[in-house]
Amino acid sequence: MSWALFWEWLIKSLVLVFGLLGGFAYTTLYERKAIARLQVRVGPNRTGPWGLLQPIADAVKLIFKEELTPANVYKVVFFLAPLLTMVPSLIIAAVIPVGTSIELFGRTIPLYLSNLNVGVIYLMSIASIAVYGIVLAGWSSNNKYAMLGGLRSSAQMISYELTLGLGFVIAILLGNSMSLVDIVEKQRTMWFGVFQPVGFVLFFIATLAEVNRAPFDMPEAEQELTAGYHTEYSGMKFALFFMAEYQKMIVVSMIGATLFLGGYLGPFEDRFPILGPLYLIAKVVVLLFMMIWIRAAWPRIRYDRLMSFGWKVMVPLSLAIVFITATGILLADMYGSLWMWTIPVASTLAGLVAVVFVFRALRRKAYERA
């Protein structure tokens, strides 16, 4: 390993980490601004031009806040939990390609940290250990509300991980590879989101649950659990949880864009590779806006409904979608590539059937209550 390669990796990692951290800061501002607009308010506009310095002011405030450690917490785990939440949300981005490669100082620099041939499964494994931080925060706080928040989040994340995994399977099937670079390159002809719109919607819903965003933000339901798993945390330790939540939002948007929306691909990207990261950022911003919009528009879903939605609707439907995708690919292999279009048609039908079933079940419940 030459030193140039070492520096290249180091610089790329630093750019990625600081990009995510800066992204976190401005995602909070973006969310506050967007929600304010959706609620016909103005939002933060006092700090700097258009309120652009607001994240810095927030950071300074959080740093100078008093940090309390309650007397009866399990100290080691209590200190480790915010880190365990924070670190997975950073390292999961290591396999996401942000572009093909650029020429710089006479070297060809690929715009990804690593092209693992098991990239998708790496995403899956990091996503699955991300739950530890929240569970341990809830337990180590030695507080009933925090504990319930932690337990809720672990149950919820495990339930929706199945749908998330099946969403990964759809992308693997369509891309015929587990490497994220291959999956993106395979989308040069057509985005997977077009072939599998229902799969993308399911994946998006599962990621909302996975990052504990509204309407699935049960672990921090204020009316029921004060603040959920981070009730006892204050100061910078609370800031770490806050950071992790927004970084997870960014990262799952990156993953969703990479798997289903063509990642860094876009017009003229093959001639000017530097456009790749910009396209990815644009797609991430759109997905983030979807998340914020959902939070502004929908109330929190009740916990038992959340679980039955996960197990009785999401999992069977995504199994059916995986089946439809695999069948469509086989048909396309045998009778020509036009048969690929059976996938979106059949999966949209399956999605509609599922919507009808949910609607009828809800109406029956409403009758029972009346």
Partner 1 sequence: MTIDLILFLILAVVAIATALGMLLSRNAVYSALFLVLNFATVAVFYVLLGAPFIAMAQITVYAGAIMVLFLFVIMLLGAEKTPGNPKWSDYILPAGLALVLVLESIYLLISRGVPSGEIVQPEASVNSVDFLRQMGMALFNEYLLPFEVTSILLLVAMVGAIVLTKQEKGGRG
- Contact residues toward partner 1 (CB under 8 A) are 74, 77, 116-118, 121-122, 124-125, 127-129, 131-132, 135-136, 138-139, 147, 150-151, 154-155, 158, 161, 177-179, 182
Q: Based on CB atoms, which residue is closest to partner 1, 229 or 246? A: 229
Separation of alpha carbons 11 and 18, rounded Å: 10
DSSP 215: T
Q: Based on CB atoms, which residue is closest to partner 1, 318 or 347? A: 318
User: Considering the complex, what minimum distance in angstroms separates the CB of residue 125 from partner 1?
Assistant: 4
User: Considering the complex, what minimum distance in angstroms separates the CB of residue 122 from partner 1?
Assistant: 6
Separation of alpha carbons 93 and 20, rounded Å: 9
Count the neighbouring beta carbons within 10 Å of the beta carbon of residue 340. 18
Q: What are phi and psi of 11, to 5 degrees?
A: -65, -40
Q: Based on CB atoms, which residue is closest to partner 1, 122 or 204? A: 122
Check if the beta carbon of residue 127 is closer than 8 Å to that of residue 180. Answer: no
User: Considering the complex, what minimum distance in angstroms separates the CB of residue 206 from partner 1?
Assistant: 15
Transcribe 55-113 into DSSP letters.
HHHHHHHHHHS-----TTS-HHHHHHHHHHHHHHHHHGGGG----SEEEETTEEEESSS
Nearest of 95, 273, 106, 105 to residue 182 by alpha carbon = 95
Check if the beta carbon of residue 99 is closer than 8 Å to that of residue 277. Answer: yes
Q: Based on CB atoms, which residue is closest to partner 1, 311 or 341? A: 311
Separation of alpha carbons 325 and 129, rounded Å: 28
Separation of alpha carbons 199 and 203, rounded Å: 6
The two counts, helices (H) then strands (E), for the chain are 15, 2
User: Considering the complex, what minimum distance in angstroms separates the CB of residue 251 from partner 1?
Assistant: 16
Q: Based on CB atoms, which residue is closest to partner 1, 27 or 141? A: 141
Residue 107: strand pairing partners = 104
Separation of alpha carbons 178 and 164, rounded Å: 15
User: Considering the complex, what minimum distance in angstroms separates the CB of residue 132 from partner 1?
Assistant: 7
CA angle at residue 217 from 215 to 223, to 5 degrees? Answer: 105
For residue 79 the two structure tokens come to 């200190």
Separation of alpha carbons 347 and 320, rounded Å: 8
Q: Based on CB atoms, which residue is closest to partner 1, 27 or 187? A: 187
User: Considering the complex, what minimum distance in angstroms separates the CB of residue 22 from partner 1?
Assistant: 29
User: Considering the complex, what minimum distance in angstroms separates the CB of residue 340 from partner 1?
Assistant: 21
Nearest of 226, 76, 186, 204 to residue 139 by alpha carbon = 76
User: Considering the complex, what minimum distance in angstroms separates the CB of residue 186 from partner 1?
Assistant: 13
User: Considering the complex, what minimum distance in angstroms separates the CB of residue 289 from partner 1?
Assistant: 30
